Amino acid sequence: MSIFSGLEKIIETDYPLSKHTWYGLGGPADYFIRPKTVEQLEKVNKRCSENNIPIYIMGYGSNLLISDNGLRAAVIKLETDQFTETQFDGEKLTAWAGAELGKLVLTCVQKGLSGIEALIGIPGSIGGAVKMNAGGNFGDIGAVVETVTLMDGQGNTFEMSKPELMFDYRRTNIAAKFILNAQLKLADADPEQIMRTVKEMWIYKKNTQPLNTKNTGCIFKNPRGVSAGALIDRAGLKALQIGGATVSEKHANFIIAEKGCQSRDVIRLIDAIKQRVKEKFDIELELEIEIWN
């Protein structure tokens, strides 16, 4: 542990990552690190760089599949007080990377601030949501993000703002290692009207997605002009099972982890889906989830 001398209180070794993923799958990380301040994060960042230790940044683990073998790396989770703060200033919201998306949506509703209600039912943290431009049929977070504060691999902190900051379907042009916080521009609205909208969206998701199962959201991005779930369904793959991993019968772009499932089962099922869709429609499905191995 001499690599992280002075930082021992925020570091655990051989840490089981499955405790922090929605799938509940994945092996251990060599180092699991929860910095309490930006300064500690900067120190960890530099120590890892100096010792050639790969870094992974974990949000809420809701869009993530980790190898059964774990990671010979440092996994950093920004979940302590500084990294979960939110500050409201009129219609401006500053949310730190570890702030929980679902709670923030409801807080904005209560305050009569519109702009992120379309994200209801999407589990995750602000950092992860911004990084992948989280959203769905009703809108994406990128529409309201004005500025992000970032840290690069050398520990330097800087900002990116629109128009330099660009959002596309499930991606951004952010290349920096860490998102520290994001500034969002919201709009005043009637809290009751926003709540009605939120309830309608939630009912739609409840009726169309397997919410009460162990899953990680949509597995694949939608190819341009077509639904990935519809392609998988038309390929006859609903309910296809490999090991403990099953294609949802409710929404074919979800893979459910049944009892006894391992990460390798999910990966094999992903590969089988991609191959069948390619054979049938000549379309290459692109992953929406992240796979760490």
Clarify whether residues 124 and 225 are in a common domain: no
Taking only Cα atoms into account, the Rg of the chain, rounded to an integer number of angstroms, comes to: 20
pLDDT digits (tens, 9 = 90+) for 242-251: 999 999 999 9
pTM of the model: 0.94
Q: What is the share, in percent, of the chain residues with pLDDT greater than 90?
A: 95
Q: Looking at residues 260-267, what average pLDDT do you find?
A: 98
What confidence tier does 69 reach under pLDDT thresholds 50, 70, 90?
Answer: very high
Report the pLDDT value the prediction gives residue 115, as an integer from 0 to 100.
96
The yes-or-no verdict on residue 286 having pLDDT over 80 is: yes
Could you count the other beta carbons within 10 Å of the beta carbon of residue 51?
11
Clarify whether residues 187 and 246 are in a common domain: no
Clarify whether residues 149 and 249 are in a common domain: no
Residues 6 or more apart in contact with residue 26 via CB below 8 angstroms: 16, 17, 18, 65, 66, 67, 68, 70, 263, 292
∠ CA 57-125-130 to the nearest 5 degrees? 80
Clarify whether residues 96 and 191 are in a common domain: yes
Report the pLDDT value the prediction gives residue 6, as an integer from 0 to 100.
95
Q: Looking at residues 93-101, what average pLDDT do you find?
A: 97
Domain final residue pick, 62, 77, 92:
77
Which domain CATH number covers 220? 3.90.78.10
Greater pLDDT, 2 or 58: 58
What confidence tier does 211 reach under pLDDT thresholds 50, 70, 90?
Answer: confident
Mean pLDDT score of the chain: 96
Asked if 115 and 142 touch (Cβ cutoff 8 Å), the reply is no
Clarify whether residues 245 and 189 are in a common domain: no
Clarify whether residues 68 and 112 are in a common domain: no
Domain span at residue 147 reads 84-196+200-206
The yes-or-no verdict on residue 1 having pLDDT over 80 is: no
Clarify whether residues 8 and 26 are in a common domain: yes
Q: Looking at residues 180-199, what average pLDDT do you find?
A: 96
Which domain CATH number covers 46? 3.30.43.10
Q: Looking at residues 46-69, what average pLDDT do you find?
A: 96
Integer CA distances (angstroms), 243 to 127, 238, 269, 277, 283, in order:
33, 15, 9, 20, 25
Pairwise CA distance, residues 75 & 51, whole Å: 15
Q: Looking at residues 216-230, what average pLDDT do you find?
A: 95
The yes-or-no verdict on residue 293 having pLDDT over 60 is: yes
Into how many domains does the chain fold? 3
Report the pLDDT value the prediction gives residue 22, as an integer from 0 to 100.
93
Greater pLDDT, 42 or 136: 42
63: Cα within 13 Å, side-chain hemisphere: 25
The yes-or-no verdict on residue 236 having pLDDT over 90 is: yes
What confidence tier does 138 reach under pLDDT thresholds 50, 70, 90?
Answer: confident
Report the pLDDT value the prediction gives residue 257, as an integer from 0 to 100.
97
Clarify whether residues 217 and 156 are in a common domain: no
Name the residue with tokens 């990680």. Answer: 216
Which domain CATH number covers 145? 3.30.465.10
The yes-or-no verdict on residue 75 having pLDDT over 90 is: yes
pLDDT digits (tens, 9 = 90+) for 106-121: 999 999 999 999 999 8
